[in-house]
Amino acid sequence: MFERLKTDTYNWILIIGLILFIVEIVFFHGGMIISSLFSGLFTYIGWKNFSRLWGKILFWISVISLVFSILNMLAVRFLVIVAIVLFIMNYLKKTQDAEIVKPNILTHQEVIVDPLIKREPLFDHKLFNDQETENTSYQWRDINIHGGFGDRIIDLSNTVLPNDTAVISIRHFIGNIEVFVPYEVEVSIHHSAVFGRAHIFGEGQTKLMNESLLYQTEKYDTTKLSRVKIVTSIFSGDIEVKRI
């Protein structure tokens, strides 16, 4: 359904949704947005204390409140209506257009492309949950994820890094990020946060308030061995990078 849309159509849908989002903030004093933020915060607190009875109660009440708050936003209502209209249009088009299947016959003039190998990523995109690398040896694959709530722990001592640049890219909403790096590996860290603290290689805690920081080890630019590039952004949470 959505793959038929042009990029310009996507852009207009997003622009209109953003305008409605701003209208709700300016003319309705935040509307359901503030309620959604508080519900999200209480959901995270309930999830972190889910083993307790009050944590379970707080989590499920907050989830229900969060869902209703999101669905009551002007921008979300607009996107739901757009999705319904696109579904109906796509259904009508499929009923009118008969699908024609043609055999795919290769000719000598066609170029045979290299085969692709699909590999499973180390982490998936998860809204609620903590994630960490395996405690046993695992094969390294670059990390590029975004998440909602929970902690992300990456231990590089249980893998063999390539003789090149290994990339860790994490975009997160609320939670902490921990990265454990072997001593012989050079590192570059580029981190941004709205609220939180940074603890990089024992340099002490740096309080961040809508700031970015950039660190790298002395031989990062000149090494010909393994090195790690860490790029993280978070709304609220701490980051810790330390040797192991």
pLDDT of residue 241: 92
In angstroms, rounded to a whole number, what is the distance separating the alpha carbons of residues 20 and 26?
A: 10
pLDDT of residue 84: 84
pLDDT of residue 110: 53
pLDDT of residue 230: 94
Instruction: Say whether 215 sits in a helix, a strand or coil.
Output: strand
Question: Is the pTM above the cut of 0.85?
Answer: no
- The pLDDT tens digits along the chain (244 residues) read 555 566 666 667 777 878 887 887 777 766 677 888 888 888 888 888 888 888 889 989 999 998 888 888 877 888 888 888 877 877 777 666 555 556 666 555 555 566 777 777 777 777 777 788 888 888 888 989 888 888 889 999 888 888 888 999 999 888 889 999 998 899 999 999 988 889 988 776 678 888 889 999 989 988 888 899 999 999 888 899 999 8
In angstroms, rounded to a whole number, what is the distance separating the alpha carbons of residues 218 and 68?
A: 51
Residue at token pair 């907050």:
62
CB 32 within 8 A of CB 70: yes
Each domain of the chain, given as residue ranges in start order, spans 2-96, 131-243
Instruction: Say whether 48 sits in a helix, a strand or coil.
Output: helix
Other residues' Cβ atoms within 10 Å of the Cβ of residue 92: 10
The full length of the chain comes to: 244
Instruction: Say whether 54 sits in a helix, a strand or coil.
Output: helix
Residue 92: HSE in the Cβ half-sphere, 13 Å Cα cutoff:
6
pLDDT of residue 233: 93
CA distances from 173 to 170, 195, 210 (A): 10, 10, 13
* Alpha carbon 76 to its chain's center: 20
